[in-house]
Amino acid sequence: MRTPVKVKICGLTRREDVESAVAAGADYLGFVLVPESKRFVPPERRRALVADLPAEVKSVAVVADPTEDELSEIRKLFDIIQFHGHEPPDLADGERSWKALPASAAPAEFARYRVGHFVVDSERGGSGQCCDWRLAARAAERYEILLAGGLSPGNVAEAVRQVNPWGVDVAGGVELSPGIKSAEKIQLFIKEAKS
């Protein structure tokens, strides 16, 4: 029997959505620390969002090209760093690091990084567009990936069937508006992903 996929609910900006995701059974909670993002969480709000999470639920900081100083501060607060920029492999390194790459990335690009997991996304991460699931499935044969890009309660079960990822990652597919989640959609997404 297949192990249920891990689920990451990303782009969280409100404590009530954090609590909804935890109650629904999310494994990972993602917080966007990229100022240009419509789901950006400013520094003064981060601690309250990740406070008192259950031990089995891990917090993930989504970053793009952070400095070493920024990274050391972020690591104090979050369990995992998910890199979305042009970070060199020596910066995005180790089990507590995840690297986002487009599904179309060459095998050599994946091979450059020694990270806990890859987040396999569309060409424009955060765009809500699905990536090429056939290419993602190839990556999933070699690595433990989280499939991202355009997932929703309506397509996640089929995505899991076709790609066989280690995990799935959703932001827009469970939202009412950018950064504002729907508790019902979160619950349905997790149920469909793990079914």
Q: Are 160 and 137 in contact (CB under 8 A)?
A: no
Residues labelled catalytic: 10, 121
**Cα four-point dihedral sign 34, 39, 40, 45:** negative
26-43 pLDDT, tens digit each: 999 999 999 999 999 999
Q: What is the mean pLDDT of the chain?
A: 93
Q: How many CB atoms lie within 10 A of CB 110?
A: 17
112-157 pLDDT, tens digit each: 999 999 999 876 655 567 788 999 999 999 999 999 999 999 999 9
* Range 6-194 classified under CATH 1.10.10.10: no
pTM: 0.95
The label of the residue with tokens 């969480």 reads 41
